[in-house]
Structure 1
């Protein structure tokens, strides 16, 4: 495993982050989830990402149990706040001071820790003044409950405003967590250049495009039984944007490139996002320990420029690059 600094900070994270978005307390039984966490630790993954909204707080609880007994100082635990939790009442969502201060205490209890290394605004809150949000983050940092602050799926303009306020309040905004893969490159035009200027790293989710870049979905063929594309708990909806023959046919063109590098298709996909120097870590999810071992093989891989160009040529027009897609990811009104 290789490790990279997160933004302009002294914090290092593993190039591969273990995340439990659609798995723990949802698609995967607890014993299997814990086995995947053990596998992550075995391959040198030290960074673990979750959120209070995942499985309505259940994912944090499972992760806390899985990491219990580990040396806390050897881990980087990240969680997020924004989405509706609990009974999903009118103040159980968003980035208000009330929700942030209450949510961090709940997350710490579920994760069985006194602090989180990285606390992230899961989306941008259009209905709460940014000054209120950033002041609340400053306060939880000063209380010692949070070491570093990040965000997720913020636009370049939002990052710039948040970064300026954080600086005024005496703390750093060091990371952004966007979707990023060889098929989904919407951050490259605006978010990445702005982040590089501000000293903000990306911790990217869905580097294998919900499994599409593994090549297991064949154009014109039935969906593999038990795959994410057949999951009615949320997986199928997330993957549907890629499930067309044009995309699936293009993805099959990556197989010879992976073979040339002696990588699996999944390893190629994860290694591809890590070629971007603004990416500090790629988040992987898993339902089986062997998936963790496979994806971790992408750490430390260098893809030659000629093969990066061949990947671009193979995927061609199926790549999504529209920067406006980032703005679309944050709801304009609260759900509750």
Structure 2
């Protein structure tokens, strides 16, 4: 496992990490979470991603319980959470990044985790109704109070990230150091084009999500939605049309053949492709079983095979960004 700095910060995160979206509480209980995290940790994973909104807070509770049972030294792992969606209806409780919400949100997350601090706190989406300056000050205060060590954004536009960074620079506040965007072979423009100047200009790091395009790139949706898959979950019904799209699955069919030539699974190739981008600090993977986790971590063996010629051939399989 390689460890990469999170942008210009000094924090080192494993190039592959383990996330809890969809799986924890919905497919994975505390026992299974502990087994998954232990297996990941044994393979060098030190970064575990979460969010307040995942499973209505239950994902943080499960991960926190697993961490207590595992008993690792706090310095050995990195935990993140994200804020925006909220857990309750009402003013200042949902779909906001105002100071009042953020102050109570971090306290709630720490209580569910059973931790004194999280390493990374993300603003899960931009909030057009709150001045960015207010959000920047609130996130700065969160870091100053020791409740988070670093902060960043998730799915913010490049101009919003730059605005937040410049406000922090102007007022000598803690700056956003990381963005968490979707990134996979079907979804590339934001990482490769929109953010292009931010990497050198402000030192932006990336922890990317959905390397498998919600499972589409595994090839398992070529003949419909299999039982037990993410697409079969009622909570994920909104994804089914995209997962079973005939045009995309025709591309996936060729991708599966390409992976076979490299003697790897499509999932391993898709994850390795994301990690091959030097701008990506960590690729967040998901798994509902140890076997699936181990298969995903096999991407580390595939990564050295992705030379310039192989990457160019892969690009030719997918529509232009």
Distance 1:15 1:263 in 2: 19
Distance 2:221 2:309 in 1: 26
In structure 2, the CA distance between the partners of 1:299 and 1:162, relative to structure 1 (3 Å rule), is farther
CA contact (8 A) 1:204 1:281 kept: yes
Deviations 1:302-328 (A, max 9, x none): 3111111111111236xxx4xxxxxxx
Partner of 1:325: none
Aligned to 1:119, what secondary structure does the other structure show?
Answer: strand
Gaps of 5+ in 1: 322-336
CA contact (8 A) 1:27 1:233 kept: no
After TM superposition, the score normalised by the length of structure 2 is 0.93
Deviations 1:122-149 (A, max 9, x none): 0001011111111011111111111111
* 1:175 equivalent in alignment to 2:178: yes
Which of 199, 208, 215 is the equivalent residue of 1:211? 215
Aligned to 1:48, what secondary structure does the other structure show?
Answer: strand
Partner of 1:275: 276
- 1:109-188 matches, within 5 Å, as 109-167=111-169, 168-187=171-190, 188=192
Partner of 1:330: none
In structure 2, the CA distance between the partners of 1:33 and 1:239, relative to structure 1 (3 Å rule), is farther
Q: Displacement of 1:239 after TM fit?
A: 4.9
Distance 1:192 1:27 in 2: 36
In structure 2, the CA distance between the partners of 1:40 and 1:88, relative to structure 1 (3 Å rule), is farther
After TM superposition, the score normalised by the length of structure 1 is 0.89
Partner of 2:67: 67
Distance 1:233 1:48 in 2: 23
In structure 2, the CA distance between the partners of 1:214 and 1:196, relative to structure 1 (3 Å rule), is farther
Q: Displacement of 1:112 after TM fit?
A: 1.3
Distance 1:43 1:200 in 2: 27
* 1:191 equivalent in alignment to 2:195: yes
Which of 302, 306, 310 is the equivalent residue of 2:309? 306
* 1:244 equivalent in alignment to 2:248: no
Distance 1:140 1:29 in 2: 30
Aligned to 2:189, what secondary structure does the other structure show?
Answer: coil
CA contact (8 A) 1:2 1:299 kept: no
Distance 2:49 2:239 in 1: 19
Aligned to 2:273, what secondary structure does the other structure show?
Answer: helix
Pairs aligned (count) = 314
Partner of 1:254: 255
Q: Displacement of 1:88 after TM fit?
A: 2.3
- 1:102-113 matches, within 5 Å, as 102-113=104-115
